[in-house]
Structure 1
Amino acid sequence: MENRQNAGGGLVLAGRYRLGDCIGKGGMGRVWRARDEVLHRVVAVKELTAGIYAAEADRVLLHARTQKEARAAARITHPNVVTVHDVLEHDGRPWIVMQYVEGRSLADEVKKSGKVPPLEAARIGLRVLGALGAAHAAGVLHRDVKPANVLLARDGSVLLTDFGIAAIDGDSTITRTGEIVGSIDYVAPERVRGADPGPACDLWSLGVTLYAALTGESPYRRTSPLDTMRAVVSEEPRHPAGVGPLGPIVMALLAKDPESRPPAAEAERLLSAAVTELESTGGVPGPDRPATAATVATRVISPDAAHGTGRSGGTGGLPAADDFLAADGFPGTGTGTGAGEASGTGRDTSPGGSASAPPPTPTAVAPTVLAS
C-alpha cells in the first residue's frame, strides 16, 4: 500500500487510525482493519479508490456520496445498523471509519452453505426489518439492501451496512438524470421504471434478499443488465419450495405494485409469526403455503403496465443498456465492516457465485461512477 510510514506499522489517517490488513476490495475500493489509537479499539476503514481514475465531475460526485453515506448512517441509532464513526479525506479521496464487525455477510453464508434454513432466514429478516424501520423513521432510504450488505456477527447479531447510496429526506439528490444505482436484481421495479423511491423499495429488496437466502439464487438475475431489468419489471419468480410459512411472506414483499406490498409493521408481524411457528416445530418448515389474499395481493403485469413508465433511451421503457456498467461490490461484507473469514479475496461472494452458477450480480451505475 502506498504511503506506508514504516515497516512496523501501516498508514495512520487523521493522526489516529492505523491501517492493518486489507479485509475486502471491489470495484469501489478497499476496506481495512484498523486500530483507533485514541480510543484503543478496532475499526473498519473504507477507502474509496474509484475516484482516483475518474473525471473531476465524477470525483466530486463520489465525494458527495461518501459524505451522504456518513450523514445517513449518523441519523440512525439502532443495534442492527453498523455505526459510522468518522469520515475524512486523505490523498485526495474519502475514507469512512466504521464499526468493525467480526463475522461474515449473508452472501458469504449462502455461498458457503448453499441456502439458509427458514428459521434462520426469518430471524435475519426480522433484524433487517428493525434496521429498516429505524432508517425510515429517521428519513433515510437504504436503496441497496442485498445479502452482501447484511452482516452476521459471530455473537449472533445481524447488522445492516453500506448506506453509500441512501436517500435522505431534506437532502438534494446526487443521482444524475437517467442513473440507477444499486445491484439491479435487488432494485424495485418502480425504481427501474423511473419512479421516486419510497420505503416499499427497501421492502422489495428485503424480499429478494430473503428469496436468495432461502433458495441460494437471486430470482431475477439474468445474463445481462437489460434482461435483469426486464425480469424485475415483468416476470414473476417461482414460489420458493420447502420454506413453509415464509413462502407467502417473501412473495408478498415481491409484489410488483408497491401499494400491494405489506408495510414494515405488517411484514414484521408476519415474520414474527413465522419465527414462532418454526420454533415450535424445531425449525422444520412443514408444507409450503400458497400465496393468498391474506399475505399478498396478486396481479397480472401486462407489458404496457410493466414498461409504460420507463425512462427514455431504453428498450421497452427501460433505461438504455449503455447507462449501466457491471462492477464488483465489496466482497463478503459489502462495506468491509470486518465480516472476516472470506474477506479480502476479491472474489464474487453473491449467492450462487460458484463457477457453475449464474454470472455475478450486475450493478447498475453510470458509466464512470461505480456504485454498490
Structure 2
Amino acid sequence: MSAVTNASNDLPGNPLRQLHLDQLRQRTSAKWRAHPDDVLPLWVAEMDVPLAEPITKAVTDAIAAGDTGYPAGTAYAESYAEFAAARWGWDDLTPARVRTVPDVMLGVVAMLDLLTAPGDAVIVNSPVYTPFYDFCAFNGRKVIEAPLGPDHRIDFAALAEAFELALGRGRRAAYLLCSPHNPTGTVHTRAELARVARVAASYGIRVVADEAHAPLCDAGTAFTPYLTVPGGEDGLAVTSAAKAWNLPGLRAALAVAGPDAAVELARMPEGIAGSTSHIGAIAQTAAFREGGPWLDALLAGLAENRRLLADAIESQLPQAVYRPRPATYLAWIDCRALGLGDDPAAHFLAQGRVALNSGHLFGTGGAGHVRLNYATSPEILAEAVDRMAASLS
C-alpha cells in the first residue's frame, strides 16, 4: 500500500485540500478516534475541512465575550430564511414558522410526537439513514419501509403499498422523507415531491422532511424544499447547517412548518428549543449568513472528488457499481458482485484498513453495499480506493 501524501495546494480555496493527514489525526472526534491510526476513516458524516472563517470568528468572539448562556432570539431562523430565499427562491418563509431544536434527529422525533403516537407507523424509503430506524423504534413507532426503485428514486407503487399497510393497522402514520436522500445522494425533483404531497394527502398521511443535506447540492442541481411544493403546506421539515459546514459538534437545528402546520409546531414544548446549544446556534447562523463562498468552494471540491471516485472505482474495482449523484458527500457503492457477502465494509476494514459504513444497516436494499464519505482530500480518497482494490487480490 502506498503512503498517503500531503494535501496539495493547487486548487486554492478548496476546503478539502487544506489539511494534511497528520493534522487530521490530531482530531479527537468520532471519525478519527473510532479506529487505529493505520485505518483511513471514510465512514461517519464528518468532513476533513477547516472551519469557514466567518464561523470561527463568530464562535471565538462569543467565547471571548463569555456569551455561553441559554439560546434566545430568532437570528438563527432568520439566517436560514435568508439562505433559503437566496439559494432556492423560497421567499415566504418567516421566523414565526421556525423553531430551534437541539439537532436534526431530535427535531424529527419531536415532530413525529406532534403527528403520531406510540404504536403508530412511520414510513421510510430504504435504504435510508440508519438513525431513522433507531430513533423511531426508541420513540415507540413502527417503521414500515417503502424501498427505493432500482434507480434510487421514490417508487410510488411501493410508497402507496406502505401507506396502505400503515393505515391498515387502524392507526395514524407519518412519512419521514429524506431529502436529499442519504445514503444514495438522490435529489428528489419538484415534480416528485409534488406527487409525494398528493399521494400523502390522498391517504391522510403527514410528511416530515429531513433536509439536513439540502445545501450540499451541486450548483447545477435544483434542490426543492418540500414545504414549497403544492400540497406541502401541511408538511414539516427539519434542517441545519451541520452537514454542509461540518458542525456536528456545535449542535443546533431548525424545525420548520408549512403554513397549514404552524398549529402543530406551536405545540412543540418550549423546553426543546431551550435545549439547543447557544454556541451551536451562533455558529450555524454565521454559516447560513456568511458561509456561502466557502460552501461554493466546497461544492466544487466535492464535484471533483465525485469524478475522481467514479474513475477510480471504474478502473480498480470494475465489478463494483457506483452511480454518482449531485448531492451530499456520500457515495453508495454496490459491492455484491465482489463476493464479499452482506457486509463488504467488514472486509474492507479488516483487509484494506479502510473504514466505511455497512450497507445492511440502512435497511432493505442495503445488503452488499457500502457508504463511503468522500469529503476528504483527493489523495486520501485515491489511497482508500487503492487499499480497497488491493484487499481483493
TM-score range, shorter chain: under 0.3
TM-score, scaled relative to structure 2: 0.23
Structure number with the higher helix fraction is: 2
TM-score, scaled relative to structure 1: 0.24
